[in-house]
Amino acid sequence: MSEKLIPQNYSISLTTPFRLVSPSAWVEHIPFAMFLIEVVKPNVLVELGTHTGNSYCAFCQAVSQLNLATKCYAIDTWEGDEHAGFYGPEILIELKKHHDPLYGHFSRLMKMTFDDALPYFLDGTIDLLHIDGLHTYEAVKHDFENWLPKLSSKGIVIFHDTNVRERDFRVWKFWEEIKPNHTHLEFSHGNGLGVLSIGENSSINNQIIEIENSEVAKKFFAIIGANLELLVQIQHLKVLLAEQEQSIQQLIEKEEEIKFYAQSKSWLITSPIRKFSNFVKKLSVSTKNEG
């Protein structure tokens, strides 16, 4: 491993993300995503398929903390698909609350289809492209081929879910077809992540090759990513615990209320009336049934 890959020299990969929300499938790749921002230093970054924004906000956080001049664009309909599930406007609304104050000065959330967004980008201008839309073979191939002309001479493409082979996920199949023709890197953890170099930047390509050939480097990113996944699980458990504590408190309050009424003089005095009322109700029901 070269000196540049020593964690101390790329401390951005050890940074705790500001945003860790469900679904957490991408969380384990956030350390590498931040590392990649520092290595590539992209002028333009585009993400196709953002959903709740774990990956995209990690990219933006790295750009911000590294004081880069990167322009970032997230493209999504924010309506979902058969793989991510379908959802309403609340996902984008919640994402904007986090994103806009922190990154709105250099980043845009573009609510549209991937194809509709193509005219907004000149050929040869995108340095880092993350493809994470519909995961069928046809969809991934379509997205890659349509956006390929937009990549710059140092272009990098990231594919998520290269290690998922159920529910008609076919990213792995397209990945197997294209990776032999390019400098590439693949992680098997976190549902798999494929990194493909389209450009001819030798320093970036050398970094990719070195990580691909280093089990130590791969384990480094996998371990840090696993720690972030644990943080997500801890957050989830804290929410469940808070909900249980709230339910317990409500039951305690209800019990106290029942005790109060049961011990009050008016409750005791009117007890015969309630018993007679219940007797009349039962008698009425019994009469109706016999009739």
pTM, two decimals, is 0.79
Binned at pLDDT 50, 70 and 90, residue 2 comes out as very low
Position with higher pLDDT, 72 vs 270: 72
Question: Per-residue pLDDT averaged across 118-134, rounded?
Answer: 96
Among the residue ranges 6-20, 55-69, 246-260, the one predicted with the least confidence is 246-260
The token pair at 170 is 């076919």
Binned at pLDDT 50, 70 and 90, residue 43 comes out as very high
Sheet holding 183-187, edge to edge: 107-111, 71-76, 44-48, 126-131, 151-160, 193-197, 183-187
Position with higher pLDDT, 30 vs 247: 30
CA distance 191 to 186: 11
Binned at pLDDT 50, 70 and 90, residue 291 comes out as low
Position with higher pLDDT, 240 vs 105: 105
The CATH architecture to which 3-236 belongs is 3-Layer(aba) Sandwich (3.40)
3 state SS of 141: helix
CB 133 within 8 A of CB 160: no
